[in-house]
Amino acid sequence: MEPIYEGKAKRLFTTDDPNVLRMEYKDEATAFNAEKKANFENKGKLNTAITLALYRMLETKGVETHLVGQIDEINLLVKNVEILMVEVIVRNIAAGSFSNRMAVEEGTVFNQPIVEFSYKSDELGDPLINDDYAREMGLATPEECAELKEKALIVNDVMIDFFKQCGLKLVDFKIEFGRTKDGEAKIVLADEISPDTCRLWDIETGKKLDKDRFRQDLGDVMEGYEEVLKRVEKVIS
């Protein structure tokens, strides 16, 4: 069917059902607003399997997602939602852009999670925004911002607990939300949750098992993702 969108890590296609899209996971990886690019064999498969497992786990905890089902190793069926142009980042431990911006040492544990919004715009490099920016830019209403924050903190609680069982620390993550196009216009979790979008460190050794292996040239990038999938599947089974 028709491709309707191509992003850095995924493609979206229409299906016979106008309410459902096919989401294909690519092997391509980008970092630093696509300045750094590479192809990793099996990344699409690994991220499909990890997102699928996490979405199913989150659904059992009452978190609604856009997931409809799986087609094959790199294709999921998802609800045709209207993606909110706000990326929601939750941080439990300082790393990445937070550490750089605030000069706080990576690994500093926060007393409470930090929730951050950024404007989903590759052109502008996903700038940090707040509720007022979101309102004035027509990205989300104040009520929606409150809902995004509340939902993101629930996702954080569920995922911290789940990843702990996997022997992993959830350092931070980025999620996106969509408005369903049915009459209800509910806000549901959309996009992906994978080592591309989460920082995950081994509880025992502190080893990074996420996209920082690519960003920081640590090597064995897919070995990290494979380790995450192996642990996720073990906890789920």
CA distance linking residue 142 with residue 103, whole number of Å:
30
52-80 in b/e burial notation, b at 16+ Cβ within 10 A?
Answer: bbbbebbeeeebbbbbbeeeeebbbbbbb
Q: Is residue 152 involved in binding ligand UDP (CB under 6 A)?
A: no
Name the minimum Å distance from CB 162 to ligand UDP.
Answer: 16
- Where does this chain touch ligand UDP (CB under 6 A) — which range of 10-18, 73-81, 150-158, 194-202? 194-202
Q: Which helix (H) or strand (E) holds 3?
A: strand 3-6
- Where does this chain touch ligand UDP (CB under 6 A) — which range of 19-27, 92-100, 132-140, 176-184? 92-100
Nearer to ligand UDP by C-beta: 112 or 237?
112
Q: Is residue 92 involved in binding ligand UDP (CB under 6 A)?
A: no
Choose which of 96, 114, 133, 153 interacts with ligand UDP (CB under 6 A).
Answer: 96
Nearer to ligand UDP by C-beta: 79 or 211?
211
Q: Within a 13 Å sphere around the CA of 78, how many CA atoms are in the beta-carbon half?
A: 32
Q: Is residue 213 involved in binding ligand UDP (CB under 6 A)?
A: no
Query: Across-strand partners of 25?
Result: 10
Give the number of other Cβ atoms within 10 Å of residue 105's Cβ: 9
Q: What are phi and psi of 114, to 5 degrees?
A: -100, 130
Q: Within a 13 Å sphere around the CA of 72, how many CA atoms are in the beta-carbon half?
A: 2
Name the minimum Å distance from CB 197 to ligand UDP.
Answer: 4
Q: Is residue 177 involved in binding ligand UDP (CB under 6 A)?
A: no
Q: Is residue 197 involved in binding ligand UDP (CB under 6 A)?
A: yes
Nearer to ligand UDP by C-beta: 12 or 20?
12
**Beta strands in 157-215, from DSSP E residues, in sequence order:** 168-179, 187-190, 198-202
Nearer to ligand UDP by C-beta: 72 or 123?
123
Name the minimum Å distance from CB 126 to ligand UDP.
Answer: 5
Name the minimum Å distance from CB 206 to ligand UDP.
Answer: 16
Residue 173: which of 188, 186, 160, 183 has the closest Cα?
160
Q: Is residue 199 involved in binding ligand UDP (CB under 6 A)?
A: yes
CA distance linking residue 220 with residue 108, whole number of Å:
25
Q: Is residue 198 involved in binding ligand UDP (CB under 6 A)?
A: yes
Nearer to ligand UDP by C-beta: 102 or 146?
102
Distances (CA, A) of 94 to 20, 53, 109, 158, 201: 37, 26, 6, 20, 12
Residues within the interface to ligand UDP (CB under 6 A) = 89, 95-98, 126, 172-174, 197-199, 211
